[in-house]
Structure 1
Amino acid sequence: MTLINSHYFKLNKLLLTFCGLWPYQTKLKRRINYTTFAIITLSMIFSLAGGIQSELNTGFMNISESIIALLFFSTGFLKCTIFYNQRNQLKILYEQTAHDLKKMTHHLERDILQAFLLEARNFNVVSLVYSIPIYIVFAIATYLPQVFGFTNESAKYELHFFLYYKPMIIHESVQDLQVLIHATISTIYVGSAYLCVSATYISSVKHVCALFEIARYRLKNVIVDHSNNNRRGLMKNASVISNLIKVIDIHEKALRGVQRIDNVFNASLFILEVTALSAVTILIFHLNYHQGNFRQMTRYSTILSAFVSYLFFCNWFGEQVIQSCNDIRETAYNVNWYNMSLRARMFVLMIMQRTLKPVHLTAGTVVILSMENFSAFLKTAWSFGTLLLTTQKPSPKENSIFFEY
């Protein structure tokens, strides 16, 4: 439990506790935190859905931005709910990492695992720091002009504000301020849910990649005797076979770790892939539609960068799993097998056979998480966005400044 509370998982613990997802919280605290998250998020989802439904007859342009917001909040709620129901699986992920960190006796192997966990922590910190200015820029360009009355009342299109279910408005005089506060609080909770999933995902993937790297390190030095400080000799056959068995064991543990991660995350990642494709398509459409409008380009660019960056990291870490498995195979091919006995070579052959087909993470067992598929995703979204642009009339030519159309 001490290792789980270490600096490697401090940010993970903070984010998951905030949303009621930390598996080591008491049952009462988990329920209170998750219920608070659910009430706030569902109220925003209901407000957006009601607003969209009431404006369906006004055309795609008036509802498209609210559709993006609805996708964002709905996906965050689903991801958080899936995680809430996976308490035991999350506990296993964190406890397995802490167990491996504690049981690593060789200082070089322990350093490898610590380096990978530290890298995961740094990525999580960067993700949190990156998400804050994105929303600040979006809020400045979206809400403040409305709240402080800087918008042009004769604007033809209400593209700069979410559609909000009118019966939920307290009073028309505070309508814009109410939407600002409600959207901000909801975004904080839902954004935390996204970060919860990504933080656990990144830490788990880096843990598995560390195991692959440790197995590769052991395989690379399988016949080297480190018992003498200044002299490196060759081990006896029995010791070589023993080391190869250890390589197979830790490689098997890494493979089980990949399977465990896939079981926990594939549903939420599939939802993310579908949602992101729809949202990025609409955002690309708006960027092309509003070319030359600084305010709109700023707003849509910030949202687009958030979706694309999040999806990029999900696929990039999936690519790292594939690459780690490939590194094991290359090391097995390049190991000094000619210095081994025939029996030891059989174990090396066994490792080669295990790595012929690289393991991978998936989104819903349908999409392999890799940079190749990420590139295909962007091409598809761009094609759909361009196609969607052909269905709309060109935007009116107007002299746009930051707070006006």
Structure 2
Amino acid sequence: MKSVWNHYYSTTKRMLLWAGLWPYQRRRERLLRVTLLTMTGLSMIVPQIGKFIKCGKDVPCILATIPTHMFQLVVIVKLYTCQFYNSKIKYLTDQMYNDWKSVEIPEEYEIMKVYAIKARLFSFIYVLYYLVGAPLFVLVSLTPKILDFLLPLNESRPPILPYEAHYFVRDDMEYFYYIFFHALVGIVIVCVAILAHDCMIFTSIEHVCSIFAVAGFRFENLANHENIDTLNNNPDDIYKQKIALSVHVHWRALQFAELLENTFSITFVIQILIVTVAMSVTLLQVASQLNDAMETSRYLAYIGGQLIHLFCFSLQGQKLIDHSLEMHIIVHWYKIPIKSQKMLLHVMRKCLQPNFLSAGKIYIFSLKSFTTVLQSSMSYFTVLASFE
């Protein structure tokens, strides 16, 4: 298992280790890392609550605090989803290793290798985006200070806090650099929880797609007997054996996809609701602060981050749907004897029901659903804007 995870899934494993969510870590180490992430998140939530209380009945001020609240809530949900379902994640990792052991011929190994490389590349780009983008979002708050140094005016430009928060001091700006340092370090740490959760799902989807591809390869080559002694074996027995092995691989893919869906389905409901609300409120903030280029750019960056996050899940969900549906095209039932064709009826029927990743069986992650969320966010934005 070490060789597979260290080579092909190294990025995902590293994120799980850092977040204390790797199922083979010592229990004390896992608890220590999860506690660190939780305490870091709480240290950022408390000032946000302070800001919320300080706003009083000022609705624009309250709305300004919501996007950061939603971000921290997503972090907690993702972190404790993996923590509570640690046994299921362990089963998924074990199953992935067993699937690698079950490959029989070089062609099947190459198929799995291609998908594993895709998973590694996708996870690496996703991690790089977060670990660069999140600090940059905080660093934007230094822009007025930098401009004062490069292009000084008669008076200093008003500073910007890294995020909407109140640190229970008389003047937050007096402690700007302490707040900035806390926000910069804190956002990098809590992003590890997001990356561990998301990379595990992306890697699992790429893996199950590789198993569907291996099953498709076997079904596609049912009539190929190049490496089998057909003279000393009954042709019907040969087909039955090959069909049985192919069906077993397809069954493993179905079981893996179902377990993945059952593990994350409920928490995805919460995440989709959070993303929809956050995007709607952020769009409202953009509309109300068009005159402030700095704040507008920060809110647009936040919206862009949410869209990329949701698009990545939609893209992977679409890939899972496509691979599960393609099986009925790959199965060349007409090339084998009629007696053996009957053994494929169950597989053909299963192929008409796609596997998918969903939020409570209500929202299915796909490219079509991605546009639906955008439309919903715009609708809520319109409703909120009407109350302005």
Name the aligned partner's letter for residue 350 of structure 1. H
Tell me the alpha carbon deviations over residues 303-353 of structure 1, each in whole angstroms, 9 at most, x when there is no partner.
111111111111211111111111001223xx151x422221101222111
TM-score (norm 1): 0.86
Distance 2:214 2:116 in 1: 13
What value does the CA root-mean-square deviation take over the aligned residues?
2.6
Counterpart of 2:364? 368
**Alignment partners' CA distance in 2, 1:174 and 1:236:** 84
1:352 partnered with 2:355: no
The separation in 1 between residues aligned to 2:162 and 2:209, in whole angstroms, is: 43
2:77 counterpart of 1:81 = no
CA 1:171–1:65 in 2, change beyond 3 Å: closer, same or farther?
closer
Deviations along 1:34-67, whole A, 9 cap, x unmatched? 11111111121122122212213122x2232321
Q: Contact between 2:144 and 2:157, CA under 8 Å: does it hold in 1?
A: no
Q: What residue identity is the alignment partner of 1:311?
A: L
Which position in structure 2 is the counterpart of 1:91?
A: 90
Contact 1:76–1:191 under 8 Å retained in 2: yes
Q: 1:377 to 1:172 in 2, by over 3 A?
A: closer
Q: 1:28 — aligned with what?
A: 28
Does structure 1 conserve the Cα–Cα contact (< 8 Å) formed by 2:138 and 2:163?
no
How do residues 310-321 of structure 1 correspond to structure 2 at under 5 angstroms?
A: 310-321=309-320
Q: How many residues in Structure 1 have an aligned counterpart in Structure 2?
A: 380
Query: Which structure shows the bigger proportion of residues in helix conformation?
Result: 2
Amino acid at match of 1:145: P
Structure 1 residue 186, shift from structure 2 partner: 2.1
* Counterpart selection for 1:386 from 375, 382, 386: 382
Residue pair 1:134, 1:303 contacting (<8 A) in 2 also: no
Moved more, 215-224 or 267-276: 267-276
**Number of the residue aligned with 1:276:** 275
Tell me, in whole angstroms, the C-alpha distance in 1 between the residues paired with 2:244 and 2:336: 14
Provide the residue aligned with 1:323 in structure 2. Answer: 322
| Contact preservation (8 Å) 1:321, 1:359 | yes
Query: 2 CA distance for matches of 1:18 and 1:146?
Result: 33
Match for 1:347: what amino acid? M
Determine helix, strand or coil for the equivalent of 1:224: coil
Distance 2:178 2:63 in 1: 21
Gaps of 5+ in 2: 229-233
> Which amino acid in 1 is paired with 2:301?
T
Q: Do the aligned partners of 2:23 and 2:87 also contact (CA within 8 Å) in 1? A: yes
CA distance in 2, matches of 1:221, 1:170: 74
What's the counterpart of residue 251 of structure 1? 250
The gaps in structure 1 that reach 5 residues or longer are: 229-234, 393-405
Contact 1:16 1:22 in 2 (8 A): yes
1:261: how far off?
0.6
The answer to whether the 8 A contact 2:81-2:264 is kept is no
% identical aligned pairs? 20
Where 1:225 maps in the other structure, the secondary structure is coil
Aligned partner of residue 66 in structure 1, secondary structure: helix
Within 5 A, what are the aligned runs for 1:149-298? 162-167=163-168, 169=169, 172=172, 174-227=174-227, 236-291=235-290, 293-298=292-297
Q: Is the 8 A contact 2:219 2:246 kept in 1?
A: yes
Structure 2: how far apart are the matches of 1:170 and 1:3?
A: 55
Equivalent in the alignment of 2:337:
341
* Separation in structure 2 between the aligned mates of residue 277 and residue 8 of structure 1, nearest angstrom: 34
Give 1:134 deviation, angstroms. Answer: 2.1
* CA–CA separation in structure 2 for the residues paired with 1:364 and 1:87: 20
| C-alpha displacement of 1:111 | 0.8
Alignment CA distance shift 1:344-1:376 (3 Å): same
